[in-house]
């Protein structure tokens, strides 16, 4: 009986030591990557033993096919997800020390997600999950003047695009006090998020900062709300207004001139028609008084029409 108990204890100890030896570890928290750069997804066996003879597979939890497969001492990526082709790598030398971390190059926004590292031998298997967060740094904020309001304030528009995840945009005055935006627009496309903010500033606000940030990255643009800027913008508004008024006046004059020329041409045509009618009457035989009266009555409306056109 004692021998049986001792054997059971030995088997239990061996099983426990094996399970401890083959523990697969990843990352305790999210792995942050920057779009366009490379990132290393951690995965290893503790304590360090060789996994060269094992099957190592990386795949996404939301995808059917693998991200990277190592089996029988070589990479086998015939069924690899198309978007990962040529961008994944396992260091075969480090497999000898139990390190199966995956290098992912030229990171894309679409690479964000949860990945599983799976290891399997003939008698054992285990896995770990790695959560990848991708950050895309967008274009530098661009500030433009968008007009004046009735109080003399200047409307400033700040816009930037190509961010991921959704960025925060804020306006700050020269003392670092946050300004409340009047309007906010946020759009998303395949390149990431684009954002637009509008704020009204006055001369006393001094230097104005437009700052866009996401997690660990930030871009900022500065503009000075000086009196010269206000004066130059007001001058531009006045010049544009005067030009617009002159354009309207010129348009009206052109329209009136064209209309008068058209009426004058119609009048000349009517005169020519009446003169041709009179010439035709002179060549005809003399009529009786009654016929002449009737003819006069018939042609009278035409003469009145010609006179009316002439007066117009």
Structural domain boundaries of the chain? 21-135, 142-225, 243-282+299-311
Cβ–Cβ < 8 Å for 111, 132: yes
pLDDT per residue as tens digits for the range 237-254: 444 555 566 677 777 878
Topology match between the domains 21-135 and 142-225: yes
Rounded to whole angstroms, the Cα distance separating 237 from 182 reads 22
Q: What is the pLDDT of residue 58?
A: 98
CA distance 22 to 98: 10
Q: Which residue has the tokens 């935006």?
A: 181
Q: What pLDDT is recorded for position 75?
A: 97
Segments of the chain with pLDDT less than 70: 1-21, 203-205, 225-246, 277-312
Taking only Cα atoms into account, the Rg of the chain, rounded to an integer number of angstroms, comes to 43
CB 223 within 8 A of CB 145: no
Q: What is the pTM of this model?
A: 0.62
pLDDT number for residue 300: 44
44 CB contacts (<8 Å, ≥6 apart)? 24, 25, 98, 99, 100, 101
Fold designation for 21-135: Immunoglobulin-like (2.60.40)
pLDDT tens per residue across span 105-119: 999 999 999 999 999
Characterize 223-245 residue by residue with b for buried, 16 or more Cβ atoms within 10 angstroms of its Cβ, and e for exposed.
Answer: bebeeeebeeeeeeeeeeeeeee
Name which CATH class applies to 142-225.
Answer: mainly beta
Measured from the Cβ of residue 35, the count of other Cβ atoms closer than 10 Å reads 21
Answer whether 122's CB lies under 8 Å from 56's CB.
Answer: no
């Amino acid at each position: 009986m004692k021998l049986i108990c001792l054997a059971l204890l030995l088997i239990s100890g061996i099983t426990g030591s094996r399970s401890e030896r083959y523990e697969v570890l990843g990352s305790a928290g999210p792995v942050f990557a920057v779009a366009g750069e490379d990132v290393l997804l951690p995965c290893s066996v503790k304590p360090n033993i060789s996994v060269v003879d094992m099957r190592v597979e990386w795949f996404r939890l939301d995808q059917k096919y693998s991200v990277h497969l190592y089996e029988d001492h070589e990479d086998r990526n015939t069924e690899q997800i198309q978007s990962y082709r040529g961008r994944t790598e396992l260091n075969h030398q480090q497999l000898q020390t139990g390190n199966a971390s995956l290098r992912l190059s030229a990171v894309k926004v679409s690479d964000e997600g949860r990945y599983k590292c799976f290891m399997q031998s003939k008698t054992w298997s285990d896995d770990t999950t790695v959560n990848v967060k991708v950050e895309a740094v967008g274009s530098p904020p661009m500030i433009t003047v968008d007009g004046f309001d009735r109080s003399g304030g200047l409307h400033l528009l700040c816009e930037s695009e190509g961010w991921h995840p959704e960025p925060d945009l804020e306006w700050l005055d020269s003392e670092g006090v946050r300004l409340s935006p009047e309007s906010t627009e946020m759009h998303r496309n395949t390149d990431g998020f684009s954002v637009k903010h509008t704020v009204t500033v006055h001369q006393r606000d001094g230097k104005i900062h437009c700052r866009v940030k996401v997690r660990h990255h930030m871009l900022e643009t500065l503009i000075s709300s000086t009196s010269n800027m206000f004066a130059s913008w007001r001058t531009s508004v006045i010049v544009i207004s005067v030009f617009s008024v002159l354009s309207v006046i010129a348009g009206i004059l052109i329209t009136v001139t064209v209309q008068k020329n058209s009426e004058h041409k119609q009048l000349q045509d009517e005169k020519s028609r009446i003169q041709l009618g009179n010439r035709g009457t002179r060549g005809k035989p003399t009529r009786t008084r009654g016929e002449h009266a009737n003819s006069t009555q018939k042609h009278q409306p035409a003469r009145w029409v010609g006179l009316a056109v002439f007066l117009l």
